[in-house]
Chains A and B, each alone.
Chain A
Amino acid sequence: MDFSVFFQPAFSGGGIYLDWVLSGIKWTLLVSILSWIIAFTAGSVLGVLRTTQLTVLRAPAAVYVEVFRNVPLLVQMFIWYFVLPEIVPKSMGDWLKTRMPMPEFWNAVLCLGFYTASRVAEQVRSGIQSIPKGQTEAGLAMGLTRLQVYRHVLLPMAYRIIIPPLTSEFLTIFKNSSVALTIGVLELTAQARQISEYTFRTFEVFTVATVVYVLITLTVTVAMRELEKKVRVPGYIGSAGK
């Protein structure tokens, strides 16, 4: 065990190997957090659509969820990166291929975001459906529109109920961000492998990478537990039934 390897001058780029690790952590966090924003927004919309009574809205959302859940993330990553520029109209394809800034990064973010959206949608849907029907009926009886019922009655409860499963989706996104290395994003796992190839200090490098992932998991878990406590609904066991 010799962790001094991280303070040796790096193979390229002028810094030391620790800089590579830090840059890897930066990209892991950036990919994960930006994807989460997409996943949470799109997933919430899709989840709500799946609970509406209009088939026109419900069916496309259901198809979306089935498609994105049943194709491996790696395959989706390749489709965003290699296939999409070829099948969109030519001018757009050219832009994607030549002028798009940081194509690997943004494709990874979009891919991971829309992939995770399908999973978030399922959680949001089950959260909304776990609320007794009487609540919706009471809201409508008080003269709220359907939209207002969602905004003021259903969603505030549903989000609190699904904090535990959402936490685990949020943790999964950090782990899944490593799949971005297959299209060339130099996130933490990719950097770890790269350093191990240059220095042969595989054990030390992988250990550090693993510890960083564990720390991310611990931080997120603790933060979400605090959030859960803060938004606890009085009268519910814990903050929420599972």
Chain B
Amino acid sequence: MFSGFDFDVIQRSLPYLWQGMLFTLGLTFLAMIGGIFLGTLLALMRLSGFRVLNMPAGGYVNLLRSTPLILVIFWFYFLVPLAIKKISGDAYAQGIGPFYSALIAFTMFEAAYYCEIIRAGIQSVPRGQVQAAYALGLTYRQAMMAVILPQAFRNMVPILLTQGIILFQDTSLVYVVGLTDFMGAAGKVAQRDGRLVEMYLFAALVYFLLCFSASHIVKRLQARYSVGR
């Protein structure tokens, strides 16, 4: 089965693949940070008693969660340049480049998923904590920042990281707009050298090793963090 294999093609293209991997890791990391930040805001909106806040947040989350990621990527590739032209008022405004368009698409998409995780995390903090914080005279902001969110995030660390692993896999879908992430790099070498079998199997192996070890680390963290609860 491996007799006709050309392992050399992998070795030759390693520097190029590494560039792709840096793109993938950068996109994953930044989209995760952005997604968690926006997701926290959305979760606070969804949990608030004001309809003006919780209705739009709920609508946004449900809309994004029922749309395929590929369609969301297409949406943002179409909308981001339009928005830039609108904001700058210049009909010939330069785009912000494919990386940032992808970053915005993934951040907005992940925010919807992180929102639901964080909402569940906030709700898992016992009610007495909120009441105690208010009884001590803390404002909403202080109660959230100093009492509720730190506890919520402590419980959520494993599941936030698991979502990060899913995001890492999902970034391969930037393929549909032709970006050179790790999978894009592997695909381009595969097409150029006619070595589809080697490159795609190598890509699968790399993704597997990274995700498998990452999820094992998360499992360990989970065991450690669950102590004391």
A residues contacting B by CB (< 8 A) are 66-67, 69-76, 78-79, 82-83, 86-87, 171, 174-179, 181-182, 189, 192-193, 196, 202-203, 206, 209-210, 213-214, 216-218
From A181, A196, A209, A210, name the one whose CB has the most chain B CB atoms within 10 angstroms.
A210
Residues of B within 8 A of A181 (CB): 70, 176
B140 at interface (Cβ–Cβ under 8 A)? no
B212 at interface (Cβ–Cβ under 8 A)? yes
Give Cα A10–Cα B63 distance, bound, in whole angstroms: 29
Give Cα A198–Cα B207 distance, bound, in whole angstroms: 36
Closest A-B pairs by Cβ, 5 of them: A217-B66, A178-B68, A70-B211, A72-B169, A175-B68
Chain B contact residues: helix, strand, loop or mixed? helix
Known A76-B204, A78-B187, A189-B74; further 6 A-B contacts with Cβ < 8 A: A75-B207, A78-B196, A83-B197, A175-B68, A192-B74, A203-B78
Residues of B within 8 A of A182 (CB): 175-176
Give Cα A196–Cα B77 distance, bound, in whole angstroms: 13
A75 & B203 in contact (Cβ 8 Å cutoff): yes
B67 & A210 in contact (Cβ 8 Å cutoff): yes
B125 at interface (Cβ–Cβ under 8 A)? no
B75 at interface (Cβ–Cβ under 8 A)? yes
B200 & A189 in contact (Cβ 8 Å cutoff): no
Give Cα A106–Cα B47 distance, bound, in whole angstroms: 44
A75 & B172 in contact (Cβ 8 Å cutoff): yes
Residues of B within 8 A of A216 (CB): 66
B170 at interface (Cβ–Cβ under 8 A)? yes
7 of the cross-chain contacts (CB-CB < 8 Å) are A70-B207, A82-B196, A83-B196, A87-B1, A178-B69, A178-B70, A210-B71
**Which residue from chain A places its CB closest to the CB of B201 in the assembled complex?**
A83
Residues of A within 8 A of B69 (CB): 175, 178
Closest chain-A Cβ to B162's Cβ sits at a distance in Å of 11
Choose among B66, B71, B190, B212 the residue that contacts A206 (Cβ–Cβ < 8 A): B71
Choose among A79, A87, A171, A213 the residue that contacts B204 (Cβ–Cβ < 8 A): A79
Choose among B63, B71, B172 the residue that contacts A192 (Cβ–Cβ < 8 A): B71
A202 & B71 in contact (Cβ 8 Å cutoff): no
B215 at interface (Cβ–Cβ under 8 A)? yes
Choose among B63, B173, B187, B212 the residue that contacts A179 (Cβ–Cβ < 8 A): B173
A206 & B183 in contact (Cβ 8 Å cutoff): no
* Contact string against A for B residues 44-66, beta-carbon threshold 8 Å, 1 for contact and 0 otherwise: 00000000000000000001011
B197 & A86 in contact (Cβ 8 Å cutoff): yes
A179 & B1 in contact (Cβ 8 Å cutoff): no
Choose among A78, A171, A206 the residue that contacts B78 (Cβ–Cβ < 8 A): A206
B173 & A70 in contact (Cβ 8 Å cutoff): no
B208 at interface (Cβ–Cβ under 8 A)? yes
A213 & B1 in contact (Cβ 8 Å cutoff): no
B169 & A213 in contact (Cβ 8 Å cutoff): no
B68 & A213 in contact (Cβ 8 Å cutoff): yes
Residues of B within 8 A of A218 (CB): 66
Residues of B within 8 A of A202 (CB): 78
From B68, B71, B78, name the one whose CB has the most chain A CB atoms within 10 angstroms.
B68
Contacts A72-B172, A83-B197: A175 and B66 contacting too (C-beta < 8 A)? yes
From A82, A176, A177, name the one whose CB has the most chain B CB atoms within 10 angstroms.
A82
Give Cα A72–Cα B67 distance, bound, in whole angstroms: 18
A70 & B212 in contact (Cβ 8 Å cutoff): yes
Residues of A within 8 A of B187 (CB): 78
A74 & B175 in contact (Cβ 8 Å cutoff): yes
**Which residue from chain A places its CB closest to the CB of B71 in the assembled complex?**
A189
Residues of B within 8 A of A179 (CB): 70, 173
Residues of B within 8 A of A66 (CB): 212
Contacts A175-B66, A179-B70, A202-B78: A71 and B208 contacting too (C-beta < 8 A)? yes
A74 & B183 in contact (Cβ 8 Å cutoff): yes
Closest chain-A Cβ to B79's Cβ sits at a distance in Å of 9
Choose among A82, A192, A206 the residue that contacts B200 (Cβ–Cβ < 8 A): A82
From B70, B75, B187, name the one whose CB has the most chain A CB atoms within 10 angstroms.
B70
B169 & A87 in contact (Cβ 8 Å cutoff): no
Contacts A87-B1, A189-B74, A203-B78: A74 and B173 contacting too (C-beta < 8 A)? yes
